[in-house]
A and B are shown apart, each in its own frame.
Chain A
Amino acid sequence: MRQAAGRPDAMSDLDFTVVLRAWPYLLSGLQFSFALTVTAFAIGMVLGTTFALIQHHEVPVLSQVVRSYIALIRSIPLILVLFWFFFLVPVVLGRFVGGGRSIPIGPTYTAFITFGLFEAAYYSEIIRVGLRSVNKGQFEACQALALSSFDTYRSVIMPQVLKVASPIILSQTIILFQDTSLVYVLSLTDLVGAASKMAQLNGRLVEMYLTVAVIYLAICSAASQCVAVLRKRNELPRVVRQ
């Protein structure tokens, strides 16, 4: 006799066909997770590089402001940062654009802005350390060649920084991709959001969350293999040199 109860409480009662039916919806959620990751990566890298350069050159006032911002963002949890920005972004935008009235721009755009600004603090620290690893002679050589400071950074310094920092940047991006799941607290439909909404409809919570876990595991494991490859590639020339 099989169990009489209808509750799926044993492994054998799992029914993964519900996942197949929910697949298009999950995929659209995953697409949003990717979009959020890519946007936050772009904003974060541009802002982060700017922050790092400001600190590297010890620009008065600005560098203190940037340093405090980074310290603050890095010591509070991302969920709290999300709540902060959800509250602040419409108010701040309203003050500058809407003549004092707050402008609701919707949770999606706020998420993009929040993740970009949040990640900037992390990328900035990575790039700052990268900048310090560049030999001083490189700067002096650029001066001797009469390169403008823009050309110095664009063609000489930044390529070296990015090469040294690429494994750490990629691991940070993997963390970012995992962190995008936290938009769940704002009821957005990323991969986790899609799964949980689907689970509410079809009651198949176990299958949905297990699938989500496997999807994340596959993507992030593949990406961590790339980190290992990048790391190896960075190590080689050093060995040869010595």
Chain B
Amino acid sequence: MFDVLFERGLDGRLYGLYLLSGLGWTLVLAFFGWWIAFLIGIVVGVGRTASNKIVSIASRLYVEVFRNIPLLVQMFLWFFVLPELLPSTAGSWIKQMPPPWGAFIPALICLALYTAARIAEQVRAGIEALPRGQSEASAALGLAPSQAYRFVIVPQAMRLIVPSLTSEVMGIYKNTSVAMTIGVLELTAESRQISEMTFQTFAAFGSATLIYLSLALCAYQLMTYIDDKVRIPGTGMTKRRRLLFVAAGGGKARRHE
């Protein structure tokens, strides 16, 4: 059934290689997007709980804007709209970026900022789930608020939210497929291309599906491993409950219900 992957396309490459290069772009987008999102997400998530009004309102605004506009529309904004709004030299410099990068960089920025808003909410939930005693004890020990966040609160919150971050990890590799709408040739785009060139739709989409399935499995295993390593003893859930928890979409507020 997957014979088509060993046939050659118009440019002489094996169709299997089309898929592999698509997989490569998907992984690169998801990997770098994740780390950028993770850093911004922690900063914004901490900002959401800050006592400074301006910081907390700005963080809330960030989350609201990036969570409430569809990813597809955000892609269009970065790709089509931003270069037009910038001064014309900067705009045309962006437009003239060589082929893969011209679409890849907007896609990466877009995906990272979108995911960051979602991670920020998880970080906030983690911080709010910690007992108040933790920040009070830090204050009693003479730690400045920034030190309390850095050494006491954020490290514990991060260990708590690993299970809900699992669904964000699984979200980001799926969301990379939206980048095909602005011309990034990632896995879904390549499989559609194969299907259009060979009419072997079943084989083309089937192999992409299998690849996505194994990515999901890897992501899940990796996150379970990390959770086992970093879980605060006594706070963890059993494996079964954790599965349910992740299944419910990470359960943002369920933790403190």
A interface list, Cβ under 8 A from B: 5, 7-11, 72, 74-80, 83-84, 87, 122, 125-126, 128-129, 132, 167-168, 171-172, 174, 178-179, 181-182, 184-185, 192, 196, 205-206, 209-210, 212-213, 216-217, 220-221, 224, 231, 234-235, 238
- Cross-chain contact A5 with B70 (CB below 8 angstroms): no
Give the distance to chain A from B182, nearest Cβ to Cβ, in Å: 11
Give the distance to chain B from A220, nearest Cβ to Cβ, in Å: 4
Contacts of A182 in B (CB 8 A): 70, 72, 178
A75–B81 CA distance with the chains assembled, in angstroms? 31
A217–B77 CA distance with the chains assembled, in angstroms? 13
Residue of B nearest to A75 (CB): B216
A172–B167 CA distance with the chains assembled, in angstroms? 14
Residue of A nearest to B80 (CB): A205
Give the distance to chain B from A57, nearest Cβ to Cβ, in Å: 17
- Cross-chain contact B68 with A8 (CB below 8 angstroms): no
- Cross-chain contact A185 with B181 (CB below 8 angstroms): yes
Q: Which of B80, B88, B195 sits near A206, CB closer than 8 Å?
A: B80
User: For the complex, is B159 an interface residue (Cβ under 8 Å from A)?
Assistant: no
21 contacts between A and B (CB under 8 A): A9-B91, A10-B85, A11-B85, A74-B216, A77-B176, A77-B177, A80-B191, A80-B208, A83-B191, A83-B195, A122-B249, A126-B249, A128-B247, A129-B248, A179-B70, A205-B81, A206-B81, A209-B76, A220-B69, A224-B67, A224-B68
A232–B71 CA distance with the chains assembled, in angstroms? 28
A11–B67 CA distance with the chains assembled, in angstroms? 25
Chain B contact surface mostly: helix
- Cross-chain contact B247 with A213 (CB below 8 angstroms): no
User: For the complex, is B142 an interface residue (Cβ under 8 Å from A)?
Assistant: no
Interface code B227-257, partner A: CB below 8 Å = 1, 0 otherwise? Answer: 0000000000000000010011101010001
Contacts of B156 in A (CB 8 A): none
Q: Which of A75, A80, A174 sits near B188, CB closer than 8 Å?
A: A80
